[in-house]
Every structure is written in C-alpha cells, then in structure tokens.
Amino acid sequence: MSQINFYPTESSQLNEVDFNNIPFGKVFSDHMFSAVYEDGEWKDFQICPFKELTMHPSMMALHYGQSIFEGMKATVAPDGTPLLFRPEKHIERLNKSAERMCMPVFPEEVFHQAVHKLVGIDRNWIPSREGSALYLRPFMYATDKYIGVTASSTYRFLIITLPVGPYYSKPVNLKVERKYVRAVKGGVGEAKTSGNYAASLLPAKLAKAEGYDQVMWMDAHEFKYIQEVGTMNLFFVFKDKIVTPATEGAILKGITRLSIIELLKSEGHKVEERPLAIDEVKEAYKQGELVEAFGSGTAAVVANISQIKDVDIDMKFNESNWKLSSRIKSFINGVRIRKEKDRFGWIVPVKEQVSH
C-alpha cells in the first residue's frame, strides 16, 4: 500500500448542490487526488481540497499536447455503499493512452487505492437517482517548463469528481462527416488524448449550425466505413444482428461498448465487431432491415439516435423501435445501483470510507 495523505477541506460545497438539477461537467466535489512524476517515479500522493492549479507558461502539455484522460463512474447501492464500474478497465486504458502519448504509466495499485479513498471521502456527492452518478475524471499532463518538441520528464496526475446526470438529455441526431476526419490507423484515435476532442470541435460546430447534435466520423482513407461519434461508440441493430465498428486502431475502445457486447452475447444475440460500411447501413435502412442505432459511452451510457443524415439520405429512427437500447440502458444503470444483478462482475464496492 502506498501512502496517500489526506488534507480535508475546511468548507464543503455539498450544500450548494441541487441534486435534482445537475448540469453535466460544471459541478465539482470537495476533494481531488493528486500525484507528481519526477526523477522517473510517481510520488507525492495526496487527496486535498479541490482547487485551481498553477502552471508555467511554457508547461509542455499546453504546447505539445501530452495530455490524456479517462471518464469513469461511481454510483451508490441502496444500503449506501459506493460502487465503481469496471475501474480496472479504466486504468488499463489510461495506461495504454499513456504509452501511445509517450507518457509514464500510472501504478495500477495506487490508482485503485486513490479511487477508493477519494470516492469514499466524497461519497455524499454521489447522486442516488437512477441514471445519475459521480463522474470521475482521472487525467495526466506534461509539466516540464520547456519549449521544444520532446517528451516531458515531469507529469501531474489528478482525479477530480463531478456529480452528473445523463450527458445527452434527448435523442441525438447525427450528420455523416464528409470533409474532416477524426483519426487514422496508426494515429492516436484509440488513445483518450485531448487533441482528439479538440479536432472534433470545428466539424461539430458546423454540424450544430445545421441543426445536428454531432458528426458521425468515417474512416480517413475512403470515407466508407463508420467509426464513432467522438463522444460515443456506435451500435446498429439490424433485424438479424447487431453490428458495432471494429476498433482496429482508430476508434476508442469504449468500456460501455465492451460491456454492451458482453451483455448482448450472453443473451444469445448475434453481435458482430467488424468494419461497417455506411452503404450497408443505408441499404438496410431502405429495405426496412435496420431497426435502431445507438451510441454508448461512460458519460452518455446509451444514447438513442433519432436521425443520421448523409448527402444522399436522411435516415430517421422511430422511437417505438428503441427497445434493445432502452433495455441495455436500463440494465447498465440498474447494475450500477444494484437494482439489477451484477452477473458479469462489473461492479466493485468502494473499500475505504474515510470520515472527515
């Protein structure tokens, strides 16, 4: 066990929060975890009051983009035990992102200890309503004070937490992106790195100006195969099968995506992870073979797609058919609050509940 020092806040903000009306991404809990990487090792593990950070103007993350993050969720059981959803998958993915971005991996054991302790300390910040959660944002960035393209030798790793409701409060309509690309095989599309999200902003802004919520990314070589939405992975429900694009290096390996595949396969559904051409989707839609489409992600959980617009087609999805996605969403949300049996072993109860 590593030593994690705890410095409690002197003024909790908990009473300021309206748990019936939580805007996503704007409300932060009382404490955060912090660690620094220096001289080749991670050290100075602490949980301290949530506060602003100081930085040098040449801090390398700002200039050269060595910055990665995760998004995970904590919920609460009816008996008050805080619960984590697949934390081991999140540290695994964080460290894969770190390797790709030439950053140091974070010790798994310290990560688990930090998450348990932090969530245990701020357990009263976990919303109890189904579909809501305490969103955990672990992130790492380069801190060397240096102008020059090289990997930093120092880093900071933090975990901040936010009570949240669903990321999308209504079904999502998508525009097929025909000009810009998100990622190429061999690039950084599989890493959860900040630049991937920055690159999505202009196309998303243009799509929003036309009335769409987001763009649907296509492969960067031929604009033929569907990738993801940027905030979510994608699933297409055909009459005889469910298809999700194979990640293959350019698509984020979603943990909700993985959980959905496990659930559907266990129920005997035919699930295919493979390159999915947009033409196959269009053809199935025209033939009445495409039943529904939905997105999956930690923040979004499961988001119904109401429309996919391409240059030659406007596919509309009828709410009365959103049966599979509704069931998956309610299963995942239900497992998270122990309303559904955790038959896949996704849930990890929080071990350490420090009083302060």
Site membership for ligand COI, residue 231 (CB under 6 A):
yes
Stretch that binds ligand COI, among 39-47, 113-121, 125-133, 292-300 (CB under 6 A): 292-300
Stretch that binds ligand COI, among 175-183, 296-304, 316-324, 336-344 (CB under 6 A): 296-304
The span from the CA of 92 to the CA of 98, in Å, is 10
Asked if 343 contacts 112 with a C-beta cutoff of 8 angstroms, the reply is: no
The span from the CA of 128 to the CA of 17, in Å, is 13
**Which member of 281, 299, 303, 337 binds ligand COI (CB under 6 A)?**
299
Site membership for ligand COI, residue 97 (CB under 6 A):
no
The span from the CA of 333 to the CA of 296, in Å, is 12
Asked if 33 contacts 49 with a C-beta cutoff of 8 angstroms, the reply is: no
Q: Which is nearer to ligand COI, 280 or 297 (CB)?
A: 297
DSSP secondary structure letter of residue 317:
-
Q: Residue 332 contacts by C-beta under 8 Å, 6 or more apart in sequence?
A: 256, 259, 260, 263, 301, 302
Site membership for ligand COI, residue 298 (CB under 6 A):
yes
Amino acid sitting at position 178: R
The span from the CA of 143 to the CA of 151, in Å, is 10
The pattern of x and - marking residues 20 through 59 that bind ligand COI according to CB under 6 A reads ----------------------------------------
Nearest distance, CB of residue 40 and ligand COI, angstroms: 29
The count of residues interacting with ligand COI (CB under 6 A) is 6
Nearest distance, CB of residue 137 and ligand COI, angstroms: 8
Site membership for ligand COI, residue 227 (CB under 6 A):
no
**Which member of 71, 87, 138, 203 binds ligand COI (CB under 6 A)?**
71
The span from the CA of 107 to the CA of 296, in Å, is 28
Q: Which is nearer to ligand COI, 167 or 317 (CB)?
A: 167
86-95 b/e (C-beta count within 10 Å ≥ 16 → b): bbebbbbbbb
Catalog residues that contact ligand COI under the rule CB under 6 A.
71, 167, 231, 297-299
